[in-house]
Structure 1
Amino acid sequence: MTIPPAGTLLARRITECKIDPSGLDLVVDAFAGVHLDGAPGWLTGEDPRDLGVELTMPNLPRDLQLPPATTHPHRVRVDVIAEDLIRIRSGAPDHWAFDDNGTGLGIVTDPLAGGADGAVAGRVDEGEQEIALRAGATKVRIGRYPFSLAIERSGDTILRTSDRLRQVAGLPTAPPLLRRQGKHSISFELGTDEDITGFGEQFGRLVKNGQHLDLRVEDALGTGTGLTYKPIPVWHSSAGYLGFLNTGARVGCDIGHSMPSVLSLTNDDDAIDLYLVLGDSIPSRLTRYTQLTGRGPQPPLWAFGYWMGRCRYHSRAEMLDVAEQMRTEQIPCDVLHLDPDWLVTDRLNTDFIWNAERFGDRAEFIAALREYSLRLSVWEVPYIDPASPLYPDAEAKGYLVRTASGEVAHLQGTPTPDGRPRALVDLTDPGARAWWQGLHRAFLDDGVAVFKTDFGEGLPDDAALADGTPPVHAHNLFPLRYNAAISDGIGRYTGRSPLVWGRSGWAGSHRYPGQWGGDAESTVAGMQATVRGGLSYAVSAPGFWSHDIGGFFGPELTGPLYVRWTQLGALSPLMRAHGLRPREPWAFGAEALETTREWVRRRYALLPYLWQVAKESAENGWPVMRPLDFHAPGDRVGRGIDDAYLLGRDLYVVPVFSDSSDPVRRTFWVPEGRWEDLYTGEHYEGGRYAERLCTLEEMPVLARDGAVIPMLDIGLFADEGVGGRGVGASVWG
């Protein structure tokens, strides 16, 4: 039976239950539903008493117009992959998701998450009112009529659909499963003390309760626009689970925004493919999630040094001058980044035609940088300008994305500086992917160390990708394919751990380190949004994330704010200064130069610790930058702290958000336990707020009591000028 285009279906009644070794396949009756005008509540053609309507209420709307009671086919499948890993699919019975082992979109890499055969020892109990599926300490309870679903772990309810929630006249306000106009929603009841975090690189508050999020990859044009470069359909609940929607489609997330007790997710597809990872802590859940979706490699050691960039360096001489000045000022540095001026045809184009007029012979230029112990990072985008000499060949060979009507697709969402449409390379086509990767090879042979994979958010909605990716999934999945192509090519050509510096992303992008937080504004608000975005991303796409020190654009950056942002960068997973205007330390005056030099050196002193944390992160599927409840899930205050963070397990970083040169009074939450400031020796007791007056030279960096922090002795404190604490040994503890 076909569904009317404007129809809404509510899954209501299980009519058949098929049992197989891994779970249940349910045949469900869905009823057409209508939403009351001007009031919350849903009606179907069922008997109002079966729907739960309170017929005696004096304010029950009169003349309720019920839709037809005709039922429509719906299907729900519940697979218990392991005791702690459950997959739930719901939608039109013939939807392709029911025939997919999970890997069809390229996000899931191991559908069994390290398991042997996908089957677990379980038991199904069928009763008149509900069906119970048990696997170890996990129990999935499914109500027959009305349809409901709940998951219990060791007797505690971890999550349940929102079928119990009603308005005063008894009408349901949040149907568990709802399909409407090609979209599918699933709704859960939020517990009274349940907090939700995650959903990718979101620049608002870390705890998402009360927010409405639109998960669509965008050229966000900043960190304060409400848009995001790297939304991820992965979230954590403090009740004890991680949720992952296996989709590339746009997802609307209402986290207690419209209704304070409801978490509702709307997928722009006629099916839901939901994985639930059960576990008491974020690290345990991320370890399991990354077994399912893969893990990224540990970046090379040099990547953890100081990176310097600017939009733009215009010549070889200009960059070598920066290298010389870094040496003169005795500022350690490992990478210089080159934005689009290396191209002859730039402005949202990459055709790998090196601008020898500006930068000379590429291999000689890279060799000159190596004399300063510097590596070269090079900018790119997956777009080609029609003015490029490579465009005709790429078009003739079918390497460019086309629309459903067969025409070359045009970049969408990012304004082009001259109005010319840009084409996109179809990296789902094996030939185009190999061609694009091959264009990098000469650069890698000459010694280019890393590519900044900028943009990638511009796939138009009418694109028809070569691999047949369903159109509703194509836009958000494009950044995943883009960064995968470059990362895989680097790894294959060089034989080392690949590294990119990506801006856009989706679920699975954590496999291709690293990423940065996009174009933050050069303001205190931009710095604050940066930290929030990094923490939110950390629990959704764990790995190696960073940001532009100083912000990318905006009001003229002040020296004090540059110093404060550098302090944050020195204690970030990766450290890069970059912006529209100069970001070199000497550009901000003598005081800023001296303080910046000190914090960059502190960064290098901590390289052994950072390397140790990076190894732990890569092996376990954890982020380097961590929210406070990462290792203390019971810390309810720490769960919402988004102005400070853990760097690994044992360092606690408290950025100072200020653009003033005067001392700043900083109030911060101290995690449980006892802590000591790494640079002043000041002690703090956890589980309470602390206050400290911070001069421009100071940022609190606390070490966990009893921790061993391996450090390099590079003469940071030779003059006993910072708290009088010399570091003569190789460890702090």
Structure 2
Amino acid sequence: MAAAGGRFRMAAVAWVVLFLGAVWAVDRSNFKTCDQSSFCKRQRNTKAGSSPYRALLDSLQLSQDSMKIQLVNEANKVPLLLELYGLKGNMTRIRINELNPLKPRYEVPDVLIGDPPTTRLSVMGRDDNSVELSLGEGTHKLILTAKPFRMDLLEGRELVLSVNSRGLLVFEHLRLKKDSFSDKVSSTVVSMWDRIKNLFSRAPSKEPATEEEGAAEASDASLPTEQESTESEKTEEASKGADEAEEEPGSWEETFKTHTDSKPNGPTSVGLDFSLPGVENVYGIPEHADNLRLRTTEGGDPYRLYNLDVFQYELYNPMALYGSVPVLLAHNTQRTMGIFWLNAAETWVDITSNTAGKTLFGKMLDYMQGGGETPQTDVRWMSESGIVDVFLLLGPSPKDIFRQYASLTGTQALPPLFSLGYHQSRWNYNDEEDVNAVDNGFDEHDIPYDVIWLDIEHADGKRYFTWDPNKFPHPREMLQRLAAKRRQMVSIVDPHIKVDSGYRVHNEIRSRNFYVKTKDGNDYEGWCWPGSAGYPDFTNPEMRAWWSSMFAYDQYEGSMENLYTWNDMNEPSVFNGPEVTMHKDAVHQGGWEHRDIHNLYGFYVQMATALGQVQRSGGVERPFVLTRAFFAGSQRYGAVWTGDNAAEWDHLKISIPMCLSLGLVGISFCGADVGGFFKNPEPELLVRWYQVGAYQPFFRAHAHVDTTRREPWLFGEDNEALIRDAIRQRYALLPFWYTAFYHSYRTGEPVMRPLWVEYPQDVTTFSIDDQYLLGDALLVHPVTAQGARGVQVYLPGKGEVWYDVHTHQKLHAPQTLYLTVTMSSIPVYQRGGSIVARKERVRRSSDCMQNDPYTLYVALGPQGTAKGDLYVDDGHTYNFETKGQYLHRRFSFSGNTLTASSADPKGSYETSAWIERVVILGAGKPAAVFLKQAGVAETRLDFTHEAETSVLTLRKPAVNIGADWSISLR
């Protein structure tokens, strides 16, 4: 009876959650504020001032590539070990851990792609209270001050970053709970040690000191080394007076609403502050529905990083959302820097600034009067558990930052070409007949698309890796019909598994003991879409390997080569859990609590799924996996989207800075649900959203089960024509998109990027997030306001020119342009000096266009020059890596001659695709145009010239895209 009552209560909770979704409004009371998160409240109660920590200079150990030194908290005498590494590529790593923890503290695995190579450190000087280190590469040096502990990073004589300058280092050491049996035993042991030591004269030894002697030794900077510490010292430290946090509410257990979180390890949070002199603009730490440039958090909550399932999230606040990337970028006209806080526990980030609230006039007045302080931004990181492990990315340019971060966590995976096309989805397409009707509808209305999606209703009772036998009885035949049209399907596979003894997947996971456990050692169960569900422990490599094996064609019955995967609800979402997620005292492999690994869970789900797709093809085919939850490094495994947005104009606008923020921290493959997930968009909003989505990296329409159908042809002929045009613009630009992703794969540079990345000294760009660049060649300013009749477009670049891609009008920069718009307008500009490849014969899917001809758009810069490139491979395998089967072509226009050559002679790929047209923007009319190829007689080309727009069009050069050639204007 009790069990039945529990099930009833769980069902009731689930219905409440579903109701919240149905009314389309987030209930903020379901999610903690900083004051309701005990460790955040404790950390924030530590005010800036003199740090209680002191570095013990006599303990400094310097090896070829690292410095180690002990820190002591003079309030509780607990020693810490600080390790500092100079890394190749102009980076520095700082790690702080307990010197003698009672047990190991969690250190994040699998996110870094390897051990970062180090550079040589050397001591440049020291005195009684400081030591100066050279960081090996470049001109950076570090000054470590012993008391109070702080570190200052300088470039030459200029201070660029300080660590703990505000004294906010907090490291809550592991301890035994007061008045526990083990604590009483520990106290007895310590007392016995004291009596024994009193029997002998005090001589230098490795025996543990009393608390008073320990304090005296600490003041003499003579704490024992790591090797000299003993288990009895650990016990003594654990039994000391400890921190005040031990007595505060929430230290050993914490209640939020109806959930109580036990904390067997007590308070274990870590925090550290960083000061950035000369910096007013900081970015990153996604995911938040906020502006690109981060706001100060004084007087409100810090930004929260804690992966959560949030129904129709609110905009412009620091609440946590589905993913977390603990990377912050700081930028000014002199340099760009980054801070990568490698911690997977719940994390809060406070941002303060001494210029916050000052008007531009006020800042100018300070400058004119010679007064005012140097602008400075201070960033404070606070995590519930783990250690301090932070990478300082020293730039100095934005592109240096991208390269540095990619060297740590990897680059954006090169996606299969089809995934850059248009995706059609909803919750849910009803059955096979519905799928066929929608698929045929695109052909009947002459609208290209590549992928149709199936949500949770396609499975048999929401048992993933299965098909509903009534609605989808013949999945292979359905997939074959799509494959015949060279299209794909994505089905959802979520990481909550229905508890059902008749379900093979559940039985195998249980028999292999792969489920996450409760604190009592039982399989953890929560409530999600299938009802009662278990949660596989994706932190376990054996579990991930088994999960990957389930994507084999003989395991995932009905699957085929053109079936790909969507991982949703992987925060993980637990409808009846605290904050709609897993209890923090749940236990993973190795005894680690969920609180330690929470933000990694979705990362591991996507990792295992992507590997499964690779393995099913014998390592030949590239995967496509969409994930909702993510962490640093998720870019290696696929795409993300911005979650459960709403059909509202503000949600359309916020999709731009949300994706820009993700691109800055390595995740380029981002998009938002076109049309909005919740609610029903009016036709104007839907059309504008298609126009926005066509120029974002991931382009998918998706909608809630309760919304009306939204296929593009259901809103009248006029709107259908506008949507068709937007989608066709996307397909024409697929060569450009694919090339941009290739660059991201090689360098870590974002595909969709803020203007300041390309114009780092133009202060006007620092706060712009309603327009952006694709690569370095196209500037996009979508229309995102209801009833808009015009938009203000900023064209950056002193002395540069831009061309309207639709009218070919030439515009000089820098300027702010008011552009009149109609419903068909998608303002896009090509940068003077760039060359962009397009395919203008748009067909029903990207694969159908594989061998179609190219058109090159050559936009001449002020000096009459331009350059660009094109990357081509088979679009879906790893042969570009394993067999060198690719083409990377370079195009250059100079001295009235356009040349094509190889940008990478290591690659080779045969294709019948050719160049059918060259369009030169900003060109005069030549007398004649000639094409020259090696071993072929020079031929004359036909051309047309539009004097009004200075557009020269060269017809049918008819050269293979892989050939070397030159075209001369004479």
Q: TM-score, structure 1 length as denominator?
A: 0.84
Counterparts of 1:289 and 1:156, CA distance in 2: 24
What is the match of residue 25 of structure 1?
68
Aligned-partner Cα distance in 2 for 1:715–1:468: 55
Query: Aligned-pair distance for 1:257?
Result: 7.4
State whether structure 2 residue 109 is matched by structure 1 residue 110.
Answer: no
* CA deviation vs aligned residue, 1:628-655 (integer Å, no higher than 9, x gap): 1112221222122111111111111111
Alignment of 1:269 onto 2:311: no
Partner of 2:511: 396
Cα RMSD over matched residues?
2.7
Letter of the 1:285 counterpart:
I
Shift in alpha-carbon separation, 1:370–1:417, aligned structure 2, 3 A: closer
Deviation at 1:470?
A: 5.0
Correspondence 1:509 to 2:624: no
What do residues 599-636 of structure 1 show as CA deviations (whole Å, max 9, x unaligned)?
A: 11111110111111111111111221111111222122
Deviations 1:298-329 (A, max 9, x none): 11111111111111101111111111110011
- Aligned equivalent of 1:224: 314
1:13 Cα deviation from its structure 2 partner:
4.2
> Against the structure 1 CA distance between its residues 93 and 151, is the aligned structure 2 distance closer, same or farther, given a 3 Å change threshold?
same
Q: How does 1:25-174 map to 2 (within 5 A)?
A: 25-32=68-75, 71-82=77-88, 84-94=90-100, 104-112=108-116, 115=117, 118-120=118-120, 122-134=122-134, 135-136=136-137, 137-161=139-163, 163=165, 174=167
Corresponding residue for 2:547?
436
Secondary structure of the 1:463 match is coil
Compute the displacement of 1:454 (Å). Answer: 0.9
**Distance change (3 Å), C-alpha of 1:468 and 1:664:** farther
2:338 corresponds in structure 1 to 242
By how many angstroms is 1:195 displaced? 1.3
1:441, distance to aligned residue in structure 2 (A): 1.7
> 2:323 and 2:398 mapped to 1: Cα distance?
20
Report the Cα distance in structure 2 between the residues aligned to 1:87 and 1:252, rounded to whole angstroms.
20
Partner residue in 2 for 1:705: 832
Worse overlay, 590-599 or 269-278: 269-278
Query: In the alignment, is the contact (CA less than 8 A) between 1:327 and 1:372 conserved in 2?
Result: no
| 1:14 lines up with 2:14 in the alignment | no
Mapped partners of 2:145, 2:123: distance in 1: 17
CA distance in 1, matches of 2:415, 2:157: 42
Give the superposition deviation at 1:235. 0.9
**Aligned residue in 1 for 2:852:** none
1:547 aligns with 672
Aligned residues of 1:710 and 1:730 also touching (Cα < 8 A) = no
What amino acid maps onto 1:287 in structure 2?
A: R
Aligned partner of 1:570: which letter? Answer: A
Aligned equivalent of 2:606, options 480, 483, 486: 483
* AA at the equivalent of 1:78: L
| Equivalent position SS for 1:708 | strand
Following superposition, the deviation at residue 732 of structure 1 comes to 6.4
- Equivalent positions of 1:606-621 (< 5 A) are 606-621=733-748
Contact 1:305 1:603 in 2 (8 A): yes
Q: Does structure 1 conserve the Cα–Cα contact (< 8 Å) formed by 2:112 and 2:633?
A: yes
Measured after TM superposition, the shift of residue 428 of structure 1 is 2.8
Cα deviation, 1:49-93, whole Å, max 9, x if unaligned, reads xxxxxxxxxxxxxxxxxxxxx633233221112361111112422
Q: Give 1:537's aligned residue.
A: 662
Q: Deviations over 1:146-165 (max 9, x none)?
A: 211111224332211353x6
Query: What SS is found at the alignment partner of 2:442?
Result: helix
> C-alpha distance in 2, partners of 1:300/1:83?
30
Using the alignment, how far apart are the partners of 2:164 and 2:758 within structure 1? Answer: 30
> Residue in 1 aligned with 2:686?
562
Q: Partner amino acid for 1:524?
A: W
User: Which structure has the bigger radius of gyration?
Assistant: 2
1:340 aligns with 2:340: no
SS in 2 for 1:729: strand
Amino acid at match of 1:607: L
The 5 Å alignment of 1:105-504 reads: 105-112=109-116, 115=117, 118-120=118-120, 122-134=122-134, 135-136=136-137, 137-161=139-163, 163=165, 174-176=167-169, 179=172, 181-211=267-297, 212-224=302-314, 226-238=319-331, 239-256=335-352, 261-269=377-385, 271-346=387-462, 350-387=463-500, 389-390=503-504, 391-411=506-526, 416=528, 420-442=531-553, 443=556, 446-458=560-572, 459-469=582-592, 471-494=594-617, 495-504=620-629
Give the CA deviation at 1:569: 0.9
Report the more deviating stretch, 238-247 or 187-196: 187-196
Q: What secondary structure does 2:465 align onto? A: coil
1-structure distance, mates of 2:345, 2:328: 16
Distance 1:640 1:162 in 2: 28
Other structure's SS at 2:623 match: coil
How far apart are the structure 2 equivalents of 1:691 and 1:429? 56
Q: Which amino acid aligns with 2:614?
A: G
Report the secondary structure of 1:691's partner residue: strand
Question: Which SS does the other structure have where 2:81 is aligned?
Answer: strand
The answer (yes or no) to whether the contact 2:411–2:666 under 8 Å persists in 1 is: no
C-alpha separation between the residues in 1 aligned to 2:105 and 2:644?
Answer: 40
In structure 1, what is the Cα distance between the partners aligned to 2:599 and 2:712?
37
CA 1:318–1:730: 2 relative to 1, 3 Å: farther
In structure 2, C-alpha distance between the alignment counterparts of 1:252 and 1:221, rounded to whole Å: 21
What percent of counterpart residues are identical? 23
Cα distance in 1, alignment partners of residues 664 and 348 from structure 2: 19
AA partner of residue 338 (structure 1): L
Relative distance call for 1:139 and 1:695 in structure 2 (3 A) is: same
- The normalised TM-score by structure 2 is 0.64
| TM-aligned CA deviation for residue 540 of structure 1 | 1.5
Contact 1:558 1:659 in 2 (8 A): no
Aligned length: 658
CA distance in 2, matches of 1:356, 1:694: 50
Give the conservation status (yes or no) of the 8 Å contact 2:269–2:386: yes
SS at structure 1 position matched to 2:689: helix
Distance 1:730 1:339 in 2: 43
- SS of the equivalent of 2:662 reads helix
Distance in 2 separating the partners of 1:416 and 1:258: 46
Going from structure 1 to structure 2, the CA distance change for 1:403 and 1:591 (only over 3 Å counts) comes to: same
Q: Deviation per CA, 1:678-715, whole angstroms, max 9, x where unpaired? A: 11223333333221121010021111112111011227
How big is the shift at 1:96?
Answer: 10
Q: Is the 8 A contact 1:546 1:575 kept in 2?
A: yes
Which segments of 5 or more consecutive residues in structure 2 lack a partner in the other structure? 1-40, 173-244, 246-266, 357-376, 573-581, 844-858, 860-914, 922-970
SS at match of 2:532: coil
Q: Could you tell me whether the CA contact under 8 Å between 2:304 and 2:347 is conserved in 1? A: yes
Once the 2 structures are TM-superposed, how far is the Cα of residue 529 of structure 1 from its aligned partner?
1.7
Distance 1:611 1:74 in 2: 48
Change (3 A) 1:23 1:186: same
Alignment of 1:660-675 (within 5 A): 660=787, 663-672=788-797, 673-675=800-802
1:52 is matched with none
Inter-CA distance 549–426: structure 2 relative to 1 (3 Å threshold): same
